[in-house]
Amino acid sequence: MDLIVSTAGGSIQSVSGVNENTTCAQIVYVLAHARQQKGRFTLIARLNGSDQEHRFTPDERPYEFIMECNEQGVQPEFELLKLDIEKGDDGGQLNLEPCTQNMLSTNSSTTSVDAMLSNNADHCQGRPDPPDYNVLMAGRCNSLRWNNMNTKRSYTPLTFLNIPNFCLHDLYTHKFTWNDLEALIDIQERTLAAQKTELVRVELTLLDSKERELIQLRKQHNNLQSVLESLRNAEWPKCAESAEAERLNTTIAAMRTAVAEKNRELVEALNLQQTLERQLASEQSRAAKVEERHSVLEHED
């Protein structure tokens, strides 16, 4: 449930998450930290706006008091009261010294009990200061150097990992399936594990900073060679030329298909023209014969 509390200055605060286990000390703690105030506070309840008031003890639960007032038909009004330090009665007072400044804004009218208490519990836990990085690394390097000097072991030659390289052209021209992607991820994980092992071995093997710098330069050189090899294998100019040639071949094939279709239509039109011309010649010959017959009959008459 939400608890409406009047605070100093006439402002109203709403405390959410109040239940039967919430104590007065928790509510006062949340309200004081939400307003970023220090001092002695107590929570009081006035019944129906009268002068009669109930002052809560730190362990008392306002939820039970509200339930009792509801059964009696009484509406309590809650107020957060800041007490003077000179007062000697500490019966219902709470002395709050926030261990850290709360991140809630003073304008916020709603405060969550659980969130506030969990945040302050995290902030108030004492944490030791972290060690200085340079001091820590220097001590670790000295300990490794001392252990290596006292341990008799044969020198292990440096090795370089054989990391599989993927052609950039393959990444752009092929569509990988889910199994392919899982295989790539597995290869990368094994490569990273091998690199970590190699780094630890190199750190334990090399004692001179110049040797470490040389190994680092060799690794950078190998990485650059891998990138250049991938770029060479990609053959971007040839890929562009092949793509353009493929586009032109597709266009030429489409044009050939269109020309063949037009030729077929032209042949059909020529055949139709010849058929019509033969029919026209036949009709003209028939008409000439009819006219000739008519003229012969007229002459005989």
- The Cβ of residue 39 has, within 10 Å, a number of other Cβ atoms equal to 14
* 75: its two tokens: 């509406």
Read off the pTM: 0.33
Count of CB atoms situated within 10 Å of the CB of 91: 9
Q: Tell whether 144 and 65 lie within a shared domain.
A: no
Q: Both 217 and 120 in a single domain?
A: no
CA-wise closest residue to 14 among 149, 84, 136, 108: 108
For CA atoms 193, 198, 203, 208, the dihedral sign is negative
Parallel, antiparallel, or unpaired: how do β-strands 39-47 and 76-83 relate?
Answer: antiparallel
Task: Tell me which of 180, 201, 234 is where a domain ends.
Answer: 234
Sequence-ordered list of residues with C-beta below 8 angstroms from that of 104, at least 6 positions apart, any chain: 33, 34, 111, 116
Q: Looking at the structure, do residues 64 and 173 belong to the same domain, yes or no?
A: no
Is residue 179 assigned to a domain?
yes
Q: What is the pLDDT of residue 298?
A: 77
Whole-angstrom distance, CA of residue 106 vs CA of residue 33:
9
Tokens encoding 298: 């007229």
* 206 DSSP 8-state letter: -
The predicted structure's pLDDT at residue 259: 95
Number of domains comprising the chain? 2
Longest dimension (CA), the chain: 160
- Per-10-residue mean pLDDT, the chain, length 301: 80 84 87 79 79 84 87 84 57 46 39 53 55 63 56 45 48 67 86 83 68 80 86 80 91 94 94 94 90 80 64
**SS3 call for 111:** strand
* Residues 42 and 83 placed together within one structural domain of the fold: yes
**What per-residue confidence (pLDDT) applies to 264?**
94
In a domain, 287, yes or no: no
Q: Give the pLDDT confidence of 157-166 residue by residue, as tens digits.
A: 444 444 444 4
- Tell me which residue range forms the domain holding 25: 3-124
The H-or-E segment that residue 112 falls in is strand 110-112
Specify whether the CB–CB gap between 3 and 18 falls below 8 A.
yes
Does residue 106 sit in the same domain as residue 73? yes
Query: Does 67 map to a domain?
Result: yes
User: Is 84 part of any domain?
Assistant: yes
Which tokens hold the place of 168?
A: 């950039």
